[in-house]
Amino acid sequence: MQQRLIIIGAGGFGREVHDWASDAIAAGAEWTVAGFLDDNPHALDGFDLPVGIIGHASTHQPNDDEVFVCAIGEPQIKLQIARSLRDRGATFTNVIHPTARIGQRNRLGVGLVLCPYSVITTNVTVGDFVSLNLHGTIGHDATVGDGCTLNNHTDITGWVQMGEGVFMGSHASVLPYARVGDYARIGAGSTVLRSAKPHTTIVGVPGKRLPSFDTPTKRAA
């Protein structure tokens, strides 16, 4: 029985994942793309794809011949939807583009999306529902938690410890041995030198924490 791949999320990244999955099928992946789950029935209006939206992510009941991958960028939403489907019996697979490079002695979760020219080197641990976009790199001995979204040209270097649900903007970097807390956000082009606390936003080079909206600021004298 050939498995039917269902992509959760029919936005821009979902359409990209459709194309990367098609490339994986051409290279020998043993499933067919069945369509998308999205609570917006008009998400694909105006786009010419060979498959469409076949149901709502919030209500879909998985079948035995279905496997899933989550193509949602926002980590918290991605984890909520993916875990809810898994609780309903969904089986998740990895969509790995043929040009992605994966070294040896790695421990990889399920529901991963590894986009063209992404690289996972060696002795890396990656959780479930992680996306590594174009030319993104995870270096040796790093740990990446569930649900992280790592955008184009991101660089996670050696021995980094990254928590759950981290979002990295394009061209962001985390330097060796740095720790990034759960649901931290690293702005595009920014660099984390040592640490980023949970639920904070880091911007700039070197990266600095943005004040939260409820943090009082000093007035100029």
221 has pLDDT over 80: no
* Region of poorest pLDDT, from 68-77, 171-180, 206-215: 206-215
Q: Where does CATH 3.40.50.20 sit in the chain? A: 3-93
Q: Which CATH class is domain 3-93?
A: alpha beta
Q: For 96-149, how does the pLDDT look when each residue is reduced to its tens digit (9 = 90+)?
A: 999 999 999 999 999 999 999 999 999 999 999 999 999 999 999 999 999 999
| pLDDT for residue 211 | 77
DSSP state of 218: P
* Residue 211, preceding peptide bond in cis (omega within 30° of 0): no
| pLDDT for residue 99 | 98
Instruction: Print burial letters for 10-30: b (CB count within 10 Å at least 16), e (below 16).
Output: bbebbbbbbebbbebeeeebe
| pLDDT for residue 210 | 87
216 has pLDDT over 60: no
3-state secondary structure of 165: coil
Q: 118 vs 16, 39, 58, CA distance in Å?
A: 14, 29, 30
Q: Where does CATH 2.160.10.10 sit in the chain? A: 97-209
Give the fold, CATH level 3, of 97-209. UDP N-Acetylglucosamine Acyltransferase; domain 1 (2.160.10)
Give the chain's mean pLDDT: 94
| pLDDT for residue 215 | 43
Paired tokens of 94? 């990895």
Q: For 1-39, how does the pLDDT look when each residue is reduced to its tens digit (9 = 90+)?
A: 689 999 999 999 999 999 999 999 999 999 999 999 999
Is residue 212 very low, low, confident or very high in pLDDT (cuts 50, 70, 90)? Answer: low
Whether the model clears a pTM of 0.95, i.e. scores above it, the answer is no
Residue 99's Cα: distance from chain center in Å?
Answer: 17
